[in-house]
Structure 1
């Protein structure tokens, strides 16, 4: 066996293992695509040591994607849990909590804090309002969803107790 054959035999496995680097399992440090909304596999909870103590009423006047004390409205655990519970369909939940929607400032509607939005360039035909008690009581939460293609001139209003159709769009103020 020549000296070159011995060197090639020793180097080949090392070269092959180096060539395969970076093609194994992902390291988990890849950024999520814009507008990613995780599936509802488990209820969201605040990260340990980062309790969400800001009252929901502090969001009034802000857009849903504006961070108030570091957390956006739909990223609040209690709001995310209401969405998962009252909007079991993933497509509307993505529209509501996604970043591509056209939104208005959060407003008060009686004792509820409400966030209204609509599908970009399609506000008349697809819109929604998520309303939750200022004290974050999910029993008082309401989600209105309007999709003219499937609902015509009505909207679906959902609470923990029931879902019903009502005439018209979802409230925007």
Structure 2
């Protein structure tokens, strides 16, 4: 099951990576090197959260969900205030943050109600570009923000596990 989710996460994140020639996009997201020394060195500011939960304070004292770069990227991607509030809420059941396809991926869900309400934040390691997936069982679709940033699976958002 975890392998299936990981494969779905990779496919979803690959689909949400923006192309540099589209309006409003800057540079493509770099893919980190597979060498061990490069993996031990932070790729960029948000890479310090990889392996930690979204609510864990890390070096510098901030959590992923409280980081100004994360909050700004989510605000830029998600026009719906209710979705933004839920995605950035610290009352969350979450998995450790992962790096998938060159993106920092944080997954969370509503405590005791993960199946019907879950989401993922996928950001470039520098926080410059990002996408948010929000799944609401009532609507039976995972919606990506900004619109068109990824596929709309009926089973939820990628968890990175």
User: Please, what TM-score do these two structures have when normalized by structure 2?
Assistant: 0.65
1:59 aligns with 2:45: no
SS at match of 2:122: strand
Cα deviation code 1:81-114 (max 9, x no counterpart)? 1111222222222221112111111011110001
Q: Residue 158 of structure 2 aligns with which residue?
A: 171
When the two chains are superposed, the root-mean-square deviation of aligned CA atoms in Å is 1.8
1:148 aligns with 2:151: no
Structure 2 distance, partners of 1:131, 1:164, is 11
**Deviation at residue 163 of structure 1 after TM alignment:** 5.3
**Deviation at residue 58 of structure 1 after TM alignment:** 1.2
SS at match of 1:115: strand
Distance 1:112 1:164, change over 3 A: closer
1:118 aligns with 2:109: yes
User: Please, what TM-score do these two structures have when normalized by structure 1?
Assistant: 0.61
Gaps of 5+ in 2: 1-43
Residue pairs, 1:69-148, within 5 angstroms: 69=59, 70-138=61-129, 141-148=130-137
Q: Which has the higher contact order (CA 8 A, sep 6+)?
A: 2
Cα deviation code 1:104-127 (max 9, x no counterpart)? 110111100011000111100010
Count of aligned pairs between the two proteins: 115
Runs of 4+ in 1 over 3 A off after TM superposition: 161-165
SS at match of 1:66: coil
Instruction: Check whether the contact 2:144–2:152 (CA below 8 A) recurs between aligned residues.
Output: yes
